[in-house]
Amino acid sequence: MCTYLTEKVSVDGSGKGARGWFPLTHATVYVDHPQHAPQEHTLNIDFINPEQGPGARVAVELTEESALALVRAIQDALAAAPPGLASADPAK
Amino acid sequence: MNDTMTAGTVTITSGNGDPIEAYLARPVDRTGFGGIVVIHHMPGYDEATKQMVRDFAVHGYAALCPNLYSRQAPGASPDDAAAAVRAAGGVADDQLIADVEGAVRHLKSLDGANGKVGVIGHCSGGRQAFLAACSMRLDAAVDCYGAFVVNEPPATMPATMKPVLGLAPRLSCPLLGLFGAEDSYPAPQETAQLAAELDALGKEHEFHTYDGAGHAFFAVDRPSYRPQAAVDGWRRIFDFFGRHLSA
């Protein structure tokens, strides 16, 4: 199905797309048909900067298992580092 | 047999006056051909859809696919454009109607056109094909597994995806519906309800639901592809357009 369901969050960081590195402002997260992955549906994440146009996008299409493993890996990596080390405001 | 055709990108004028990009394929050295508006699916104005446009031209039709994302993402690759439009909530019904109106007008203006025009869409385009056929004068419409024609989508979906069953009294042409028995959006129960409504209204329609097929069974580049359903579906599409788009 075409879900149209989209979670959108503000993000602060950089991504490398087809035209090189660019600052990221948002990420959209949704479950829908992939463009490339050989699955009916995938968990898709677009890291984007709408001000720089539709091409300012880093896209991933993951199986549900991969997406959940990624969530755990992100949490584990952050937990293993000193608190606040990668924060936008390390003094906090 | 003369199956020579030409294909490429053109600019057409939408029904609301906007210039938009579109992909046109048409027979060469032939006259009296019908026109087909191809509504691309949500993943965009992509290679698979353009191939479908060319296939119709090989079979003697002029086919035109308006890029529904040309305003929001001009010049972007189809997948980037689809992501941007998706994040913005999708294509509004009013815009879809205007873009199909522009495409119909363009097809009718071609030298050699017989003045008859049909529409076809898959997935989100299936709902939009029905919407178009209820919003303007057409000669044939094909809805390939369009969801949310009858049922309300989940509440979290954008307001652009509202059921359009209430428009059925205004259906202007015969409707061919091709669905998968294992599809959930639309589920067989939903398409049966649409058929019952069209029966009650005396609207000409022909629905086929394929066992062993789910959503997107025509998509040759996806695991949902079901050759038996797709081959039979294509046969029915050409038969349907042949009956309704001939001069």
Query: Per residue in B181-227, pLDDT tens?
Result: 999 999 999 999 999 999 999 999 999 999 999 999 999 988 999 99
Decide if B87 and A4 are in contact by the 8 Å CB cutoff. Answer: no
Q: pLDDT digit string (tens) for B56-98?
A: 999 999 999 999 999 999 989 999 999 999 888 889 999 999 9
What ipTM score was computed for the predicted complex, to two decimals?
Answer: 0.84
Of A47, A60, A42, which is closest to residue A21 (Cα–Cα)?
Answer: A47
Rounded to whole angstroms, the Cα distance separating A60 from A56 reads 14
Geometric angle at alpha carbon B221, from B215 and B226, rounded to 5°: 45
Q: pLDDT digit string (tens) for B132-168?
A: 999 999 999 999 999 999 998 877 676 667 899 999 9
Terminal Cα distance for chain B, rounded: 19
What domains does chain B contain, in order, with CATH numbers? Answer: 5-244 (3.40.50.1820)
Decide if A1 and B184 are in contact by the 8 Å CB cutoff. Answer: yes
State CA B106 to chain mean position distance.
16
B106 CB neighbour count, 10 Å cutoff: 23
B43 → closest Cβ in A33, A40, A48? A33
Is B103 in contact with B70 (CB distance < 8 Å)?
no
Rounded to whole angstroms, the Cα distance separating B192 from B141 reads 18
The first and second tokens of residue B207, run together, are 């629905």
Alpha-carbon gap: B151 to the closest alpha carbon of chain A (Å): 13
The DSSP code sequence of A16-41 is EETTEEEEEEEEEEEEE--SSSSSSS
A4 → closest Cβ in B76, B80, B157? B157
Among all residues of chain A, which has the CA nearest to that of B158? A4
